[in-house]
Structure 1
């Protein structure tokens, strides 16, 4: 896919001035093409055909070019779409390279160190609530505050900003308030009934099927992703909305299976029955 997309992009650069201006504005096309077509397009094709050496070459080259494009677009305010495309390509190259080298998608790498799944120690509800509050403030501050603001600033600097209607921004405010209420309800319920925190390193000691967990199995994830989308709408940043949606894909694909395997191992038939009755993403309010 990367080889085909890269080939199509280079055709567009060479044939369509609008694509050339949006992605390489101010940069010399010919020298870049001489290096990028064999290393990026050709390297991606060879890696897809199973040439393992090409994986290292195309991934290294793509990350190098992405870094250069980020610096260029940030300093000059030009070629923002090119920088965005190369950052996306670098992420894809890294992911595909890992899969090819390891021969699988090693999602278990995520659940290591401070993110390893461990049951919370017995420490009393008051202390669990305090730790939950601190963790929530930290994660909201970083993932719903700092990172979205940085993304919005980069979006504006790179000339990628699209003005959103006022109605969408107001919708973002309403969604943020509702999602925040859901997140707080979920965290408090988990702390009081499960004696656990949102961090995987302090998982609930008991299976929680009360409060919002009666209607959806992962209300904190639903709340967090909805908050991210809401922040993007409030900031008028489509890239922040994409950031939140990408977070949902990562969580659903990489994190959720590990978490559910841990719950199945610790709670057995009770969790299996709960999983059959309650959906993962879309709340179901029927009894």
Structure 2
């Protein structure tokens, strides 16, 4: 079989199979969302597995044209569709172990037939096992969780990994922009932390407050106006555009990516999502749109959900924190004495009108987002999962652990 025919079948076979399933099954939006995520996950994970395979000699590719990082793009996309969209759309309810076993068996049968484009090494089964473990099974799980509406945080985390991998890491590798002096890459990484924090905080706000994800087919169930959305209406698009502008200092190709990200956010996304939000939330959405700009962040937050942070007034270490917050005149945040809370609090506690709650370091991080953009960035950093855990560990180790409070009424007044 000729190399051209092998490459054509490897791509068009899965494409036609997915198209046929879509035409027959007419999948609903959650299943489409699962298929998109599963395919994206496989593109990213299989890119890594193939890079490792080329390095370790599991297999190699003999192809010319449409090759990126030594891998034929058509084979990669066909493989990702076969393992991602095809099962997610055709058999979404099938047991994951059974689906993975069938697709792995199919791959074992097809890979030896892909010569001369794909040349297998003596240890190619190790590579196949790595692909199944890193690409196939996680992709099936993400699709299942999205379709059934389960594991919200895992779905959101998967989308963060996909956005970073497909939107930043792979383009850096393909363009070769990473081949820069270490000092330049270090400075760029520090600058990228600002849009990165904005984007991560926006995804977290979607999940925690809106009970949804950034994917259009898996959106929040209620209007999200807190966190980064109190400062800018399009924090994810703003973060993406700003990040690409920074990456353009390494390679001008990223200017095109920034232009595309901005055009999408200001054009199609603004029109389509704006209509959907207006239909779903009416005057609530229109009032929010009037208060918050789409691209240029405000210095002080606007329209965040009202919140209360409870800080112990009888604790020598805690009370100064409450007074410091009160002096900053936070927007839509009241500072109250923890002693007055009916639940008997033992840590600083943040409670928001939309049901979002946090304790300890996370509570302080949430309170900081009500002051201004500078403190909000610090709060978003402090609230990141690993950072918050480590910061809380340090605070507890230094004597800032839980307290048993007396039931005495105290009021916080700025001084």
TM-score, length basis structure 1: 0.49
Q: Is the helix fraction higher in 1 or 2?
A: 1
Higher RCO, 1 or 2 (CA under 8 Å, sep at least 6)? 1
Q: Is the strand fraction higher in 1 or 2?
A: 2
TM-score, length basis structure 2: 0.35
